[in-house]
Structure 1
């Protein structure tokens, strides 16, 4: 496991750059997912625009004006914050500091903040000065949906992370009450919360800018599946707690290793080492490696997440300092399974995306796929269960069922409207 990039660079290249302590592996892969998906989103929006699904909107802009005081001050403020916090990392001993504590504290470097603020201000002034006219003009420009990918991405980031954190907080309310500061941690994010909140924000955005929503979500379906798969890489690499139930067919070694075990071995291990984080003795399954999959490593079926970012479990032998824990009983690496399934589903959606002429149908298929994937992975995943009419589903299972049903209904209604020749549903 690599809780942050410091440990990866140390292991892979033998270098010890302290500022990399601040680049959490999970956050790095989430950022990478947004960057890659922005490129894919731009490509698909352009393709759909050429097919006539999207049109441009006309926007009035004033050109030739010099930079205003407000623009200069806002650029200085943005540059100062980034320089004070981000560039300040390079001048800070980060080895024994919690990244979240630093980001949300008043600590930083004033000189780097002032320097970057001045640079941002100068760049804004220079760009505006190059375009300055003796008499500013009002012009009308045409803006296509793919020109708005930056705004779309920022909306998805802000409302996605906020929604993911809110849903995780509601799901783990008692833990939040014990430690409210956990809300600012990048671990503990509920994907469906991000999906729902970002979806609402993007629906509002498409209506505001007259973008056909059904065509838009057809583009977003495969993109969101890709983002989910890439984001889950961060969960697996960092060991952020999104793992499964215990697989009692395997045991761990004190140094962090996996080997086959018997059911009796598991029971003894639980009694001696793992009772402090076991909710009950049934929270496991006995699943040895199938013969037909013997070519796969043991850790594909059970993993102890050594050096996990949550520091959960028991101490590793011959390890001192932070991130020196591993799970004494191996678990199903469900984040690894979700990486494989999500990227496979993305491949399917990407391959069939041009076959459907009725807008919204591809997104309905996405909802069915993502709902089924999450519903079945929940069967071997550790999560908080709810109590509804004597049933005990997890939050994710409940939302998964609703998504599958909604996807089916959506496909049926849209296809029926298309067959009867009725006007498409108004979406903007």
Structure 2
């Protein structure tokens, strides 16, 4: 696994770039996911605009005039934050590089560096504004197309999505949150996709209504973008080893090098006993540890063992037992292989992205593509939950996980939404 890009470049290319220690692998893939989603969303919105399904909206904007007080304040605050943390990072590199996340969330930094950069940005703003002195700000009416609003949509989706993902994760892991609420809220790990999807959807729909964007065409355009972004985000989970993996595959244990090896079913109990201290930290009853044995079938012998089980050596959350011969901050490996569920979701969602992209021109009823996305996303997540590690609830004798509940509602909601959109479209066609 690659907790940050330093380890990735070192293992893949034999190049050691210490500065890359601050670039977290999970965060890198999240950023790529948003960029890829933005590209797909923009491309599909433009197509619908060309077909006349989406129209521009006239807006009044202010142009000309010197910089105002608000602009100077924004430049100053941004400059202070950059200088405060940036110079602090440079001056304390040896310490900070070992715990970049902790440094960013702490009160440490360079106060003088913050003042210096703030002053510089304010001066640059003043200098660029000098030529506008004596000019008068005036109102102009411009036409703004939906695809031009994608940057705003992506920023809102990122903020609302991350907040929603964090809140839903802590609700799902309430006991851990109660023990350390500040640490749970500020930690960069622990995100629930459906929480982010729900909160971001609410925020973006409110924005779309305010900006007079056709909501059905917007969500249809977003469907393949969302599926692709989810697949790329799961790459971050897989390559960083963020703890979002499956139950134990008791047909495999990890050896001293961190690789999984196939063993007889009885070896699972022996591995648990050899590492009983670790398993007791995870489960109060070590006699009922969730696991399922599935050895690689002969028909799939061409696939590597890590497709069926992974020890997630060097995982970013430092989960597992010490890895022999390893010296550093990420030297843990799971003693028994787990199902690499992020890998399965990557493959499934890339395939489903292709499906949505292929049918987007064939289905012309507004809203139906998004309904299909809800059904496909719900089905994918519902079935992968069967081998994932998650908190289960007791509801009338049933024991679903949070994701199973939400995915079931998405499937039902998607079917109902498709029916509603088709019925609405038929009614409009009949009236016309």
The residue aligned with 1:314 is: 321
SS of 2:20's equivalent in the other structure is helix
Alignment of 1:210-359 (within 5 A): 210-274=212-276, 275-276=279-280, 277-278=282-283, 280=286, 281-359=288-366
Distance in 1 (CA, whole Å) between partners of 2:96 and 2:88 is 14
Task: Decide whether the 8 Å contact of 2:66 with 2:135 is kept in 1.
Answer: no
The residue aligned with 2:36 is: 36
TM-score (normalizing by structure 1) = 0.94
The residue aligned with 1:164 is: 165
Task: Decide whether the 8 Å contact of 1:304 with 1:327 is kept in 2.
Answer: yes
Aligned length: 424
The residue aligned with 2:392 is: 385
Q: More deviation in 197-206 or 173-182?
A: 173-182
The residue aligned with 2:67 is: 67
The residue aligned with 2:84 is: 84
SS of 1:349's equivalent in the other structure is helix
Q: Tell me the CA shift for residue 257 of structure 1.
A: 1.1
**Which consecutive unaligned segments of at least 5 residues does structure 1 have?**
none
SS of 1:89's equivalent in the other structure is helix
Note closer, same or farther for the CA distance 1:20–1:217 as it changes in structure 2 (3 Å cut).
same
Note closer, same or farther for the CA distance 1:88–1:342 as it changes in structure 2 (3 Å cut).
farther
Question: Does 2:114 align with 1:109?
Answer: no
The residue aligned with 1:56 is: 56
Task: Decide whether the 8 Å contact of 1:60 with 1:139 is kept in 2.
Answer: yes
Distance in 1 (CA, whole Å) between partners of 2:149 and 2:117 is 27
The residue aligned with 1:409 is: 416
Distance in 1 (CA, whole Å) between partners of 2:62 and 2:228 is 38
Task: Decide whether the 8 Å contact of 1:305 with 1:327 is kept in 2.
Answer: yes
Task: Decide whether the 8 Å contact of 1:64 with 1:128 is kept in 2.
Answer: no
TM-score (normalizing by structure 2) = 0.93
Task: Decide whether the 8 Å contact of 1:244 with 1:331 is kept in 2.
Answer: yes
Distance in 1 (CA, whole Å) between partners of 2:254 and 2:350 is 29
SS of 1:142's equivalent in the other structure is strand
Task: Decide whether the 8 Å contact of 1:64 with 1:133 is kept in 2.
Answer: no
Task: Decide whether the 8 Å contact of 2:382 with 2:404 is kept in 1.
Answer: yes
- Which of 182, 185, 188 is residue 187 of structure 2 equivalent to? 185
Note closer, same or farther for the CA distance 1:112–1:38 as it changes in structure 2 (3 Å cut).
farther
The residue aligned with 1:19 is: 19
Note closer, same or farther for the CA distance 1:314–1:271 as it changes in structure 2 (3 Å cut).
same
Distance in 2 (CA, whole Å) between partners of 1:118 and 1:297 is 56
Q: More deviation in 183-192 or 362-371?
A: 183-192
Note closer, same or farther for the CA distance 1:219–1:94 as it changes in structure 2 (3 Å cut).
farther
Q: More deviation in 125-134 or 74-83?
A: 125-134
Q: CA RMSD in A?
A: 2.0
Distance in 2 (CA, whole Å) between partners of 1:116 and 1:290 is 61
Q: Tell me the CA shift for residue 358 of structure 1.
A: 0.9
SS of 1:248's equivalent in the other structure is strand
Task: Decide whether the 8 Å contact of 1:218 with 1:360 is kept in 2.
Answer: yes
Q: Tell me the CA shift for residue 172 of structure 1.
A: 0.4
Note closer, same or farther for the CA distance 1:124–1:43 as it changes in structure 2 (3 Å cut).
farther
Note closer, same or farther for the CA distance 1:49–1:132 as it changes in structure 2 (3 Å cut).
farther
SS of 1:295's equivalent in the other structure is coil
Distance in 1 (CA, whole Å) between partners of 2:34 and 2:71 is 27
**Which consecutive unaligned segments of at least 5 residues does structure 2 have?**
none
